[in-house]
A and B are shown apart, each in its own frame.
Chain A
Amino acid sequence: MAGKTSLEKAFLSGNEALARGAWEAGLCVAAAYPGTPSTEILESLATYPELSVQWSVNEKVAFEVAYGAAVGGVRSLFACKHVGLNVAMDPLMTASYAGVEAGFVVVVCDDPGMHSSQNEQDSRWVGVFSKLPVLEPSTPAEAKAFVAEAFGISEKFDTPVIVRMTTRISHSKEDVALGQRKETPPKPLAAKMQKYVMLPKVARMRHEFIEQRLEKLRAYSEKTKLNKTELKDTKLGFITSSVSYCYLKEVFPEASYLKLGFLYPFCDEKIKAFAASVKKVVVVEELDPFLEEHVKALGIRKAHFKHPSFRVGEFNPSLIGDVAAGKERHVEPKPVRPPRLCPGCPHWATFSVLKKLGLYVAGDIGCYTLGALPPTSAMHTCICMGAGVTFHEGLRLAHPEAKIVGVVGDSTFVHSGITGLINAAYNKAKGVIFILDNSTTAMTGGQPHPATGRTIREEPTKQLDLAALCRCCGADNVDVIDPIGHVKALEELVLKRLDEDALSVIITKHPCVLKKK
């Protein structure tokens, strides 16, 4: 038994399965910036040598590189976490207008429960906002199957396609059947000014086009097998999608289901027909009332919904009964051990200095955000990527006399700190910005970035010189110091720089202790 299955099946996470599905579907180019829970999609794609796969400096850049390849005529993919999609919204909104030559898939991984994120946004709304179709798998095996569908839909309807995952699907594993790769020959380079040069006149025509495209997608949504009606006991029926479907099936195996895999545009007729065929119908979805509002808009009076308290947090099999019954959330998640900086982490030394000097610290996203927690408790803001630099400037405008510093990690600085530093210099800001340089993207598991001089496949490449870059951006002083073993020297340096009427960057450089050798 074992020998036979092992050739055809593998034990894959949702992210690995999605990568495998994209590879089998003839993917050529993929780009992303690391972000939990999406990171393993690109790491997994990087193991297929025939693909062009890159860590880009941020999500906007990644989106544009991958989308450019699709306009160039090869199947391509962009992957991100939910907040990463915000960074790529600018190209996404107009990519919807321009469409594609070859298939282009946008994978977004939401994080209900915020296992490792700064907010709990529900990216399904992006489909409505950008007028793009949204596919939603429930399992790793479906992630693999749906991404292949997504490439087909992209080419058939001339549209980018969003595949929306959640942490639970990205990071769950199951046995997944493997297939062969189907090559897709590249299309010729298309000079289509009326499609790809988004002047107002062109954009107007394309806006007409995407309104019509939505109608066609709506019709497709009615007939695709991705939206699946399972009629069993008609006393109780669920309209659901994503991992909620798995939890419900576990607890209500005899009920009827309308499982939505092609989530948006909605299959209105299917939804109405399903509601009419069951006695009681309950809409079950994590996070926002996305299906709920649409089902209400369809005038389905008998539909039941979750209690608003369940718009926060992740579901699980123990909670799903209460969700389905419309009860209020009453079980608070049990307190778990909070994470801490690793023993020996270079950030300990830097944060001990920030704490000792009693500074107000504009923080940023990375392992070092843990510096906000005891025992260091030395971070006072953390909103989004790059804001360690820009918040520092804004806070100083509000309180010119206060002792304020900014901190940002090396990877985060390259992602979106550079523009903030140029802005600070240009607008004559003063103060001290720390780049906490651990020579990796540590929080997501240690991915390389431009300042490490290595690619996603660990090949050597041009290495970005952070100190030289900061000088070019207009920093008056750039100091590089190893914080470990030099706490006193670091403290003196910070005091000196804070005293000066200058814009200073202090790069605290020491590798992450978990860095892959």
Chain B
Amino acid sequence: MKKAQYNITFGGIGGQGIIKASELLGWAALYEGYPVKKSEVHGMSQRGGSVESHVRFGKGFFSPLLGAGQADFLLCFHADEHERLAEFLKDDGVDLFEWLDKAAAMIDNPKMLNTALMGVLAAYLPIRQPSWDKAFETVFPEKIRQRNIEIFNQARHMAQTAINP
């Protein structure tokens, strides 16, 4: 069931950790040995504007940005942004929007929403644990790393169970 390439669109608003999430995925894909590209669209993102990020890994792509109808997965972090971002999704793409509330319910610190949603996404991706672990090491400072890995694994497990009960 492994595809030739994986295209993921992330979106939400500044301050939700979207760039961090796409960064984590980029490094994990690289550690897994895939060619990978990532691109972002954000104006002055620290100040609450729309943020959008695209990650693609696998074979046979050139553009760092995805076009309409190219994303295999959509990870939307904010309800207001969902309609705008939905046009990136393929007809048979997977919209993880329904996981937003479930992921939010798992965490006590809203800063970890990105990690929880990444755990959900990870359930669908051909990237193994050691590569995720190394990516966490690269992207997260030591102080908060362990807690994030726990949330990530918990969310991934929950999603795996839901996909293949």
Q: Which residues of A pack against B, CB within 8 Å?
A: 1-2, 4-6, 9-11, 115-116, 139, 168, 171-175, 243, 245-247, 249-251, 316-318, 320, 334, 336-342, 367, 370, 443, 445, 514
Contact = CB atoms under 8 A, between A and B. Distances in A.
B111 interface: no
A246 B64 contact: yes
Contacts of B31: 2, 5-6
Nearest to B14: A339
B81 interface: yes
A235 B148 CA distance: 53
Contact of A168 (B65, B66, B128): B65
A5 B30 CA distance: 8
B66 A317 contact: yes
Interface string B59-77: 0011111111010000000
A443 B44 contact: yes
Given A2-B130, A6-B30, A174-B38, A336 B67 contact: no
19 contacts: A2-B128, A2-B130, A5-B31, A11-B26, A11-B38, A115-B41, A115-B42, A172-B37, A172-B38, A172-B64, A174-B36, A249-B63, A317-B63, A317-B70, A336-B49, A336-B84, A340-B47, A342-B48, A445-B46
Contacts of A334: 84
A2 B68 contact: no
A316 B13 contact: no
B40 interface: yes
B93 interface: no
B84 A1 contact: no
Contacts of A6: 30-31, 134
A316 B67 contact: yes
B111 to A, nearest CB: 14
Interface of B: 13-14, 23, 26-27, 30-50, 61-68, 70, 80-81, 84, 128, 130-131, 134
B39 A172 contact: yes
A339 B47 contact: yes
Contacts of A336: 43, 49-50, 84
A343 to B, nearest CB: 9
A508 to B, nearest CB: 19
B49 A2 contact: no
A175 B64 contact: no
A317 B80 contact: no
Contacts of A11: 23, 26-27, 30, 36, 38
A250 B61 contact: yes
A175 B62 CA distance: 13
Interface core residue of A6, A443, A514 (most chain B CB under 10 Å): A6
A337 B80 contact: yes
Contact of B37 (A2, A116, A174): A174
B43 A175 contact: no
A316 to B, nearest CB: 5
Contacts of B30: 5-6, 9-11, 175
Contacts of B40: 171-172
A250 B44 contact: no
A11 B84 CA distance: 28
A429 to B, nearest CB: 32
Choose among A251, A317, A338 the residue with the greatest number of B CB atoms under 10 Å from its CB. A317
Contact of A337 (B32, B38, B49): B49
Contacts of B50: 336-337
A214 B40 CA distance: 37
A337 B81 contact: yes
Contacts of B45: 339
A443 B46 CA distance: 9
A10 B61 CA distance: 19
Given A11-B26, A11-B27, A337-B80, A514 B46 contact: yes
Residue from A4, A5, A173 with most neighbouring chain B CB atoms (10 Å): A173
A1 B84 CA distance: 37
Contacts of B49: 336-340
7 closest A-B pairs by beta carbon, nearest first, are A317-B67, A339-B49, A336-B50, A1-B33, A172-B64, A249-B62, A318-B67
A447 B42 CA distance: 19
A229 to B, nearest CB: 17
Nearest to B12: A337
Contacts of A370: 44, 47
A116 B43 contact: yes
B47 A318 contact: no
Given A245-B62, A251-B67, A340-B47, 19 more contacts: A2-B31, A2-B33, A2-B131, A2-B134, A5-B33, A11-B23, A11-B38, A116-B43, A139-B64, A172-B37, A172-B40, A174-B35, A175-B35, A320-B67, A334-B84, A337-B80, A339-B44, A339-B47, A339-B48
